[in-house]
Copies of this chain bind each other. A is one copy, B any other.
Amino acid sequence: MNPNTTLIGIRGSRYRLDTPALVLDLPALQRNIARMAALAGRHGIGLRPHAKSHKSIEIARLQAQAGALGISCATLGEAEVMVEAGMPGVLITSPVVGANKLRRLIELGCKVSPGQLMVVADHPRNVEELAVLASTLGYRLPVLVDYHAGLHRTGVADAAAAVALAQQISGSDTLLLQGLQAYGGHLQHIHDQQQRAHAAANLCEEVKALVAAIEAAGMPLEIVTGVGTGTHAFDAAAGVFTEMQPGSYLFMDWDYLRALSDAAHPAPFETALFVQGMVVSVNAGEWVTVDAGLKSLATDSGTPEVAYGLQGASRYEFFGDEHGKLIVDAPHRPKLGDHIEFITSHCDPTVNLHGYYHVVDDDTLVDIWPIQARGRI
């Protein structure tokens, strides 16, 4: 049992959590969900937010209540969690490859109504295997052609390959050509807004041409998906994508906070995710040691920054698996046992390190949500 359970509902409990603890500011989360839903509504574009960020059934439900079409998943494991929870409209945004996973995919497809589970593909052999296995489903499995979008992580290599793969899918008795995916993951984190807008516009033009090429070959595309938190505002306005799959707007790590704000404008979403640590050693001269290290905070995009619990300037450095070094000017040095909250540099892998969201409203712990798809890599 989570040792913080007894604190639920007690005023001031937020800063008495057993640490390290992942903290989710519920009102901020709800405002972020509402803002993205409103923006999508204004532009008449659909929203199928990405579960890879939150890995949580509770959060997926909040997004659905705000009008989301369904939920995007990076992995089959995430999709299994979402389907088991009854989430409709599940899209798996990476190709599902190999006999083991294809078998699991079809088993999952047997549990949903037709159209409620969709998958992307980028290779003729994969489509061939999908087509054979999908024959046991009793309905045509919806497949989206995955386009590289300049990232070349997954996706077909060019327009000709996209058209050919679309034809292969269309021509199958067991598959349904549902649409196109073009996710420009590398564009999302460009900090310069003009550069990011320009790159997003270029991709939109490319996708528009690609859709035209596929449709000109007699294959209409119901869904054109992609779009992350970084380019959402440009892409929603461009009218090329029919839906978006952002994830990080929920939480706003500091990398996205910087990318989406400038001197004149704050970011359109606010930070709702924190990692709370405690000061566990105070004997060093220049720093104190906190109990949040590289097993509770992602290391791939930089060091975390202090959000709450400390006055004055400070700098965090990773200090091993379980600890962080917090360098603070002497007048503001915290005491043994003080609780301090950090903003992570990268929300998705940070969430994946934790078992629970500690859901807070102001200074009160109001709920604890398990992170059901944690580690479903």
Which residues of A come within 8 Å of B, CB atoms? 3-4, 16-20, 52, 74-75, 94-95, 97-98, 100-101, 104, 122-123, 125-126, 148, 152-157, 161, 185, 278-285, 287, 289, 291, 294-296, 298-300, 318-323, 325, 336-337, 348-349, 352-355, 374-375, 377
Contact = CB atoms under 8 A, between A and B. Distances in A.
Contacts of A375: 295, 353-355, 374
A319 B325 CA distance: 28
Contacts of A125: 336
Contacts of A17: 100
Contact of A154 (B122, B289, B377): B289
Q: How many copies of this chain are found per oligomer? A: 2
The 7 closest A-B pairs by CB, nearest first: A152-B284, A154-B281, A299-B300, A18-B100, A157-B283, A97-B280, A295-B377
A20 B94 CA distance: 14
A104 B3 contact: yes
A118 B282 CA distance: 21
A123 B281 contact: yes
B98 A19 contact: yes
Nearest to A286: B152
B336 A321 contact: no
A281 B95 contact: yes
A122 B281 contact: yes
29 contacts: A3-B100, A18-B98, A18-B104, A19-B98, A20-B377, A74-B321, A75-B322, A94-B291, A97-B278, A97-B281, A98-B278, A122-B283, A123-B281, A152-B287, A153-B323, A154-B280, A154-B289, A155-B283, A157-B283, A157-B285, A295-B349, A295-B352, A299-B299, A300-B318, A321-B348, A321-B349, A321-B352, A353-B377, A354-B375
- Chain A's interface: helix, strand, loop or mixed, by majority? loop
A184 to B, nearest CB: 12
A45 B365 CA distance: 47
A247 to B, nearest CB: 10
A94 B280 contact: yes
Contacts of A337: 97-98
A338 to B, nearest CB: 10
A323 to B, nearest CB: 6
Contacts of A281: 95, 97, 122-123, 153-155
B94 A322 contact: yes
Nearest to A107: B3
Nearest to A247: B321
Nearest to A325: B153
- Which of A17, A52, A284 lies at the interface centre, i.e. has the most chain B CB atoms within 10 A of its CB? A284
A322 B52 contact: yes
Contacts of A4: 100
A368 to B, nearest CB: 14
A352 B347 CA distance: 17
A157 B157 CA distance: 59
A24 to B, nearest CB: 17
A156 B161 CA distance: 65
A234 to B, nearest CB: 21
Contacts of A122: 281, 283
A97 B291 CA distance: 10
A154 to B, nearest CB: 4
Contacts of A126: 336
A100 B153 contact: no
A283 B156 contact: yes
